[in-house]
Each structure stands twice: as structure tokens, then as C-alpha cells.
Amino acid sequence: MRGIPLNLWNYVRGRGEFLAFLTYQHASLAFQTVLVGTVVAVLIAVAVYRLPLVAALSLTSSRVALTIPSLALLALLLVPFGLGVTPSFLMLAFFAALPVIGNAIVGLRSVPASVVESARGIGFSRWRILLTVELPIAWPVILTGIRVSTQMIVGVAAIVAYVLGPGLGSLIFNGLSRLGGANALEMALTGTILIVLIALVFDALLVLLGRLTIAKGLSS
């Protein structure tokens, strides 16, 4: 056990460029899928939050959809899209949207009616109210959903190695499949540690984003 840190350091030291490339792939895939998922989720929330029944159904559906096994969805996407980036991206973007949908709907519906009425009373259009009043007030709740989504996706993104997707998952699964062989444990540990580091960096950046974009008195 005492030799594991030294062996891990020796493994990393000899493969810095390769590990940096896999880390970039993983972080890029997570960032892009969370971005796309967030945009789609907010658009859905904007479309339904004023309709109580549809909003409730959307909330329930997004929560139920989170129980879908990611590997099962990935396997289904293999049929029309084959191996590689496309099924990986679609699966991750789908899961990335789910936490944000719920938070966006809750955030928009929690905007005080008196604030909306005041904005309407001074002549704001519906879209101006949405963009300058409702979304800014709902933003702390939406950002919380984005943080949850990001942490989830950074971890789930390792699974796409099963369909030859990019990222650090290949390192983890190659190591696990070769346990007992040379550098097998080091491969799996390195991939896991780098994924945790990516998650921590992304979360720190989102916390910073919140501090820069959330008005005082609105932070949750």
C-alpha cells in the first residue's frame, strides 16, 4: 500500500501529455453538454412555467427521467448513431438538462407576483419582464441546478468509454479490465483523481460565476 503513491507518481510523470489530452477531452465534453443541456432546459422552463399543469408534469418527468440508467440510454443511442462522440454527447446533454429544468421552473414560478405586476404597471412587455425581472430573480435557483448538473455529468461522462467516447473513462475502464497487470491500478486511480479535480474546478468556477452575477439579497 505504501508503494501506491510512488507508483502513481511514476505513472503520471511519464504520461503527462497523454493525461492532459484526456483531461481536456473530458472537461470539454462535460462543459459542452452542460451548456447545451442548460440552454434547452431554460427554454423548456420558459415555455411551461406559466402553465401550472404542464409545469407540474415537466417537473415530474424530469425527476423520473433521472432514474433512467445511463448505460441503457447509451445502448439505445448506439442503434441510430453508432459508436463515438454523437451518442456520448446526446446522452450527457439529456441528463445535463434534467436538474436544470426543475430548478428553472421552480425559480421562475417563485418570482413574487407583486414584482411582476409592478413591472407590468410601468409598461414592461412580457419578454422584457422575463429577461430583466423574472430570470434574474430565478437565476440563483437555476445556477444551483447547473452546479448539480455539472457535478453529475463530470462523473457520468466516464461511462461513454463503453461506446468509444472521449475522456478519462477509457483510462479507468482499461485499468479495471487489467487489474493485476502492470500499471492497471495506477490507470484507474489516475482517471478517477483527474475526474474529481475537474469537478472541483468546475464547481469553483460556478461559485465565482454566482458571485459575479447574483445581485445582493438574491443569493440562496
Does 61 reside within a domain? yes
Does 174 reside within a domain? yes
For residue 72, give the CATH number of its domain: 1.10.3720.10
Closest by CA to 104, choosing from 130, 133, 61, 138, is 138
Average pLDDT of the residues in 81-88: 91
pTM here? 0.92
Does 154 reside within a domain? yes
Does 59 reside within a domain? yes
Does 220 reside within a domain? no
Tally Cβ neighbours within 10 Å of residue 11.
18
Residue of 15 and 210 predicted with greater confidence:
210
Confidence of residue 65 (pLDDT cuts 50, 70, 90): very high
Query: What does the alpha-carbon distance between residue 63 and residue 67 come to, in Å, rounded to a whole number?
Result: 7
185-203 tens-digit pLDDT: 888 899 999 999 999 999 9
Terminal C-alpha separation, the chain: 43
Structural domain boundaries, residue 142: 3-213
131-160 tens-digit pLDDT: 999 999 999 999 999 999 999 999 999 999
Does 218 reside within a domain? no
Mean pLDDT for all residues in the chain: 90
Give me the pLDDT at residue 3, please: 54
The total number of structural domains in the chain stands at 1
